[in-house]
Amino acid sequence: MEPSLSRIGLAGLAVMGQNLALNIADKGFPISVYNRTTSKVDETLDRARNEGNLPLTGHYTPKDFVLSLKRPRSVIILVKAGSPVDQTIAALSDYMEPGDTIIDGGNEWYENTERRLHEVSQKGILYLGMGVSGGEEGARNGPSLMPGGSYQAYLNIEEIVKKVAAQVEDGPCVTYIGEGGSGNFVKMVHNGIEYGDMQLISEAYDVLKNVGGLSNVELAEIFSEWNKGELESFLIEITADIFKVKDEHGEGELVDKILDKTGMKGTGKWTVQQAAELSVAAPTIAASLDCRYLSGLKEEREAAAEVLEAAGLKEEVGTVRSGIDKKRLIDDVRQALYASKICSYAQGMNLLRAKSVEKGWDLNFGELARIWKGGCIIRAVFLDRIKKAYQRNPNLASLVVDPDFAKEMVQRQAAWRRVVGLAISAGISTPGMCASLSYFDTYRRARLPANLVQAQRDLFGAHTYERIDRPGAFHTEWTKLARKGDTHVAALN
């Protein structure tokens, strides 16, 4: 008797792939799995047995794998971004038919997805690039899913992804994002926001520890407390946990023994590059990327500390710390973190909007905030407020000017300025908080000193300028006039 066909297939069984496959099987959808290294297939089969005899079958050749699927077939691939994806598509698509669907669940550059979408469409195959967030835990128990590409392809798997995604009170954390590579792009920006969030939290930690003199035990308590209020989020929750873990190889907590060098995979860099391409200011995300680069220069930083100390630089932390009201500092840092975070999310949303306009994706920002409320790394209670802000006004220019968020920024700005000022006077760098604050201060000012920059550009490059009191473009012979005392302006028509 023929074994019955699976509802969906998954190729690529590293940790994320295994966990997502088991999640799908757990939700009652029979699934076929395949991996080039056969031991991974066996490992996944073992897990499926041990985790509840889940309806999962293993296959050892691309042909057997594809032919084990119900038509129209849907195959998720979770392999390393770049050429491994192309190789996997080539191996599988030989056995696929028009109407079948390929879903790439990796962190892929969105233009690669658009190229592949076009290539496989020549064979009549449908394609989705689907961002998957939540790490291995999310993949197994409910990730946030961001599928973009063929809408028909999405409809083919909608029933599955809605059950597999994280569930929040207003539905599953998945939605059809839009055409082309929009799903990958949204996931990329999600990761950029995540960089900003992590940087801001590390700065809050730095100020509390070094200016406030707080112990890890106190920090764990503070972050646990913060996680009950407006800052409630996955990253705040795990931060509280990190401070509690003791070092098994010595005294104290493990966090203090970790080398201060940050790794990165590239999505944060792509986000900042895209922001520059689209002329969108994303200073908080850029600052977090710069900090990762600077953290990598561990030896140079140690040498710099010695050279500058020898040159007479004195640590100001002690002086600043002596006059500190701890309770107030903790509350100020909480407010500064929240206000900085709003700016970081505003930058991410503005980048998404600019791309959506450029590509005609018609992204729904309220929906994006909603699907990020569960499953993903940046999941946070305040995403619900972002969702509501975009529901009130889908054309919101910036989160900073949503009436609710505007009130919150105004209420928190005194605390925010105190924290940044304190950090600066103590010589503790807070690049993310400073970037957020200067973003806020630049964006809210009706007039900036850009008039002087424009005058400089006109002087040395005849770039012309506009005036605030009359229409048209103007050019002035600045140097001649400055040195003559003559005030003749040539109007350009």
Q: Which of 153, 152, 158 is nearest to 174 (CA)?
A: 158
Instruction: Give the Cα separation of 378 and 394 in Å (integer).
Output: 22
The annotated binding site for substrate is made up of 107, 133-135, 190-191, 195, 265, 292, 457, 463
Q: Which of 236, 187, 170 is nearest to 373 (CA)?
A: 170
Q: Which of 57, 46, 52 is nearest to 2 (CA)?
A: 57
Instruction: Give the Cα separation of 14 and 88 in Å (integer).
Output: 14
Q: Report the 10 Å Cβ neighbour count for 300.
A: 10
Task: Quote the longest CA-to-CA distance of the chain.
Answer: 100
Q: Which of 127, 134, 140, 229 is nearest to 173 (CA)?
A: 134
Residue 289 has which token pair?
Answer: 């990327």
β-pairing, 101-104 with 126-133? parallel
Specify the amino acid at residue 400. V
Q: Supply angle C-alpha 130, 156, 142, rounded to 5.
A: 50
Catalytic residue among 108, 114, 194, 253, which? 194
Instruction: Give the Cα separation of 490 and 451 in Å (integer).
Output: 18
Instruction: Give the Cα separation of 336 and 415 in Å (integer).
Output: 6
Residue pair 406/385 in contact by the 8 Å Cβ criterion: no
Q: Which of 463, 438, 444 is nearest to 453 (CA)?
A: 463
Q: Which of 324, 300, 382 is nearest to 207 (CA)?
A: 324
Those residues with Cβ within 8 angstroms of residue 92's Cβ, 6 or more apart along the chain or in another chain? 11, 62, 65, 66, 75, 77, 102
Residue pair 203/167 in contact by the 8 Å Cβ criterion: no
Instruction: Give the Cα separation of 80 and 61 in Å (integer).
Output: 19
| 248 classed as catalytic | no
Instruction: Give the Cα separation of 396 and 420 in Å (integer).
Output: 28
The annotated binding site is made up of 12-17, 35-37, 79-81, 107, 133-135, 190-191, 195, 265, 292, 457, 463
CA atoms within 13 A on the CB side of 102: 33
| 3-state class (DSSP) for residue 2 | coil
Catalytic residue among 27, 40, 187, 355, which? 187
| 466 classed as catalytic | no
Specify the amino acid at residue 105. G
Instruction: Give the Cα separation of 153 and 129 in Å (integer).
Output: 10
| 3-state class (DSSP) for residue 34 | strand
3-state helix, strand, coil in the chain (%, to 5): 60, 10, 30
Catalytic residues: 187, 194
